[in-house]
C-alpha cells in the first residue's frame, strides 16, 4: 500500500517566529500519526530552522522546499539549487500553478526541475492540473505529466509524488468535485504506475478532506491556506491517517 501523505505549502507567509510556532505545533500534533507522512514546505528562508524543529521528535514529518532552480549552481542571484535543498530537506514542490502563472514556468523548465530533483536524491512533488473542466481534461493532464517526466527513467518514478491540482480550485471557495478528481487521478496512475503516491490539492480544509481521501485513488492531499493554521492542518492529518489506516 502506498503511504498516505499530507503536504503543507506555506507559500509566502509568516515571519520566522510564526514559522517556528507553527512548525512546533504541527510536529507535536501529528506525532502519533505514524502511518502518515506529513511534509511541511515553508518559505525557503525559514527552511533550515523549520527542518530543525520538525526533525527533533519523529520520523514521519519531513521538511520540503517550495521551489528549486534546474541547474546545480551558477550566477543566478536569488535562486536555490536541488543540492542545496538536499542538505536540509527531502522534498520539493515543482510545477505549481502559481509558478506557471506568475513566473512563466513552462513544461520544459518544470521537466528540468523534476530531473534536477531526482538527480539530487530529492523527491519532487509534481503539480499538474487543468485550467477548466473539459471532456478531454484527463487526457490533457495525463499528457502534461508524461511531458514533465521525459528526463527521468521509469525506475525512478518511485521517487516522485504527483499532486493533481485543478487550477480553478487553487485558492477558490470550493474544491473540485471529488468523483471527477478520482477519475483524472486514475488516468494519471496509468502514467506513473503503482508505486508513486498521487495527491489531490485545491482548497482542502478539515471539512472537505474526507470526501477526497475516502477514495482509494487518492493517497493524500496538498494543502495551502489550511496548512497555515496548526489546528486545521492537524485535523486534516488526523482524518487522512485514521481513514487510510482503516482501509
Give yes or no: 96 in active site.
yes
The percent helix, strand, coil of the chain (3-state, each to 5) is 45, 15, 40
pLDDT at 81: 98
The domains found in the chain, sorted by start residue, are 5-246 (3.20.20.70)
Percent of the chain whose predicted confidence (pLDDT) is above 90: 86
Q: 97-115: per-residue pLDDT in tens?
A: 999 999 999 999 999 999 9
CA atoms within 13 A on the CB side of 83: 4
Which pTM value belongs to this model? 0.96
Of 37, 105, 165, 217, the active-site residue reads: 165
Across the chain, mean pLDDT equals 94
pLDDT digits (tens, 9 = 90+) for 41-98: 999 999 999 999 998 667 789 999 999 999 999 999 999 999 999 999 999 999 999 9
CB-based contacts of 77, cutoff 8 Å, min separation 6: none
pLDDT, tens digit (0-9, with 9 covering 90-100), for 202-231: 999 999 999 999 999 999 999 999 999 999
189 versus 136: the higher-pLDDT residue is 189
Q: Span 240-246, mean pLDDT? A: 83
Q: Which residue is catalytic, options 60, 96, 130, 217?
A: 96
Amino acid at each position: 500500500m502506498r503511504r498516505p501523505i499530507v503536504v503543507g505549502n506555506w507559500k509566502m507567509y509568516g515571519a520566522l517566529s510564526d514559522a517556528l510556532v507553527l512548525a512546533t505545533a504541527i510536529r507535536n500534533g501529528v506525532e502519533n500519526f505514524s502511518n502518515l507522512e506529513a511534509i511541511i514546505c515553508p518559505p525557503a528562508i525559514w527552511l533550515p530552522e523549520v527542518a530543525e524543529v520538525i526533525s527533533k521528535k519523529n520520523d514521519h514529518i519531513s521538511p520540503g522546499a517550495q521551489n528549486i532552480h534546474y541547474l546545480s549552481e551558477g550566477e543566478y542571484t536569488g535562486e536555490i539549487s536541488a543540492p542545496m535543498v538536499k542538505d536540509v530537506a527531502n522534498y520539493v514542490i515543482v510545477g505549481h500553478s502559481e509558478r506557471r502563472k506568475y513566473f512563466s514556468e513552462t513544461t520544459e523548465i518544470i521537466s528540468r526541475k523534476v530531473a534536477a530533483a531526482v538527480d539530487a536524491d530529492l523527491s519532487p512533488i509534481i503539480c499538474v492540473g487543468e485550467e477548466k473542466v473539459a471532456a478531454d481534461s484527463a487526457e490533457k493532464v495525463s499528457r502534461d505529466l508524461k511531458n514533465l517526466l521525459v528526463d527521468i527513467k521509469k525506475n525512478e518514478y518511485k521517487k516522485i509524488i504527483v499532486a493533481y491540482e485543478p487550477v480553478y480550485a487553487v485558492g477558490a471557495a470550493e474544491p473540485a468535485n471529488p468523483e471527477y478528481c478520482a477519475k483524472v487521478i486514475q488516468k494519471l496512475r496509468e502514467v506513473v504506475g503503482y508505486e508513486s503516491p498521487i495527491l489531490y490539492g485545491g482548497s482542502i480544509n478539515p471539512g472537505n478532506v474526507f470526501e477526497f481521501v475516502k477514495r482509494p485513488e487518492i493517497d493524500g492531499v496538498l494543502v495551502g491556506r489550511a496548512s497555515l493554521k496548526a489546528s486545521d492542518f492537524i485535523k486534516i492529518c488526523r482524518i487522512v491517517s485514521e481513514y487510510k489506516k482503516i482501509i
